Chains A and B, each alone.
Chain A
Amino acid sequence: MKFLVNPSKFNKVADYVFIPVLISSIILFSIGLIFAFYLSPDDYQQGSTVRIMYVHVPSAWLALLTYAIMTLYSIAGLAFKIPFGFIINTAVAPIGAVFTLICIISGSLWGKPMWGTWWVWDARLTSVAILFIIYLTIIFMNLSFENRIVREKVVAIFILVGSVNLPIVKFSVDWWNTLHQPATISKLSKPNIDPSMMTPLIIMTFAFIMIGIAIAILRIKTEIISRKSYLS
Chain B
Amino acid sequence: MILVKDLSIERSNKKIFENVNLSLGSGKIILLKGKNGSGKTTLLKALLNLIEPSSGAIYWKGKLLKKNLYNFFNHVTYIADRTSSLSKLSVKENIKIWKKIFLSNISNSQVENILKTLKLDIYLDQKVNSLSFGETKKLEFLRLIIENKKIWILDEPLSNLDDESIDVIAQTFEDHRSKEGSIIFSSHQESEINVSEEVLL
**A and B: direct contact (Cβ < 8 Å)?**
yes
**Chain A residues engaging chain B, CB cutoff 8 angstroms:** 148-149, 230-231
B14 closest partner in A (C-beta): A231
Expressed in whole angstroms, the minimum distance between the Cβ of B160 and any Cβ of chain A is 27
Q: Interface 1/0s, chain B 14-37, versus A by CB < 8 A? A: 100000000000000000000000
Contacts of A149 in B (CB 8 A): 12
| Contact-residue bracket for chain B | under 10
Could you list 6 A-B pairs, sorted by A, with CB under 8 Å? A148-B12, A149-B12, A230-B12, A231-B12, A231-B13, A231-B14
Contacts of B14 in A (CB 8 A): 231
A231 closest partner in B (C-beta): B13
Rounded to whole angstroms, the CA-CA distance of A167 and B179 in the bound complex is 62
Expressed in whole angstroms, the minimum distance between the Cβ of A78 and any Cβ of chain B is 14
Contacts of A148 in B (CB 8 A): 12
Expressed in whole angstroms, the minimum distance between the Cβ of A224 and any Cβ of chain B is 14
In the A-B complex, the 6 residue pairs with the smallest Cβ-Cβ separation, listed nearest first, are A231-B13, A231-B12, A149-B12, A148-B12, A230-B12, A231-B14
Expressed in whole angstroms, the minimum distance between the Cβ of B120 and any Cβ of chain A is 36
Contacts of B12 in A (CB 8 A): 148-149, 230-231
Rounded to whole angstroms, the CA-CA distance of A127 and B113 in the bound complex is 64
Rounded to whole angstroms, the CA-CA distance of A148 and B12 in the bound complex is 9
Contacts of B13 in A (CB 8 A): 231
Contacts of A231 in B (CB 8 A): 12-14
B13 closest partner in A (C-beta): A231
Expressed in whole angstroms, the minimum distance between the Cβ of B42 and any Cβ of chain A is 14
Expressed in whole angstroms, the minimum distance between the Cβ of A8 and any Cβ of chain B is 15
Expressed in whole angstroms, the minimum distance between the Cβ of A55 and any Cβ of chain B is 42
Expressed in whole angstroms, the minimum distance between the Cβ of A216 and any Cβ of chain B is 25
Rounded to whole angstroms, the CA-CA distance of A183 and B82 in the bound complex is 58
Contacts of A230 in B (CB 8 A): 12
Rounded to whole angstroms, the CA-CA distance of A102 and B170 in the bound complex is 69
Rounded to whole angstroms, the CA-CA distance of A206 and B14 in the bound complex is 43
CB within 8 Å of A: which of B1-17?
Answer: 12-14
Rounded to whole angstroms, the CA-CA distance of A77 and B12 in the bound complex is 15
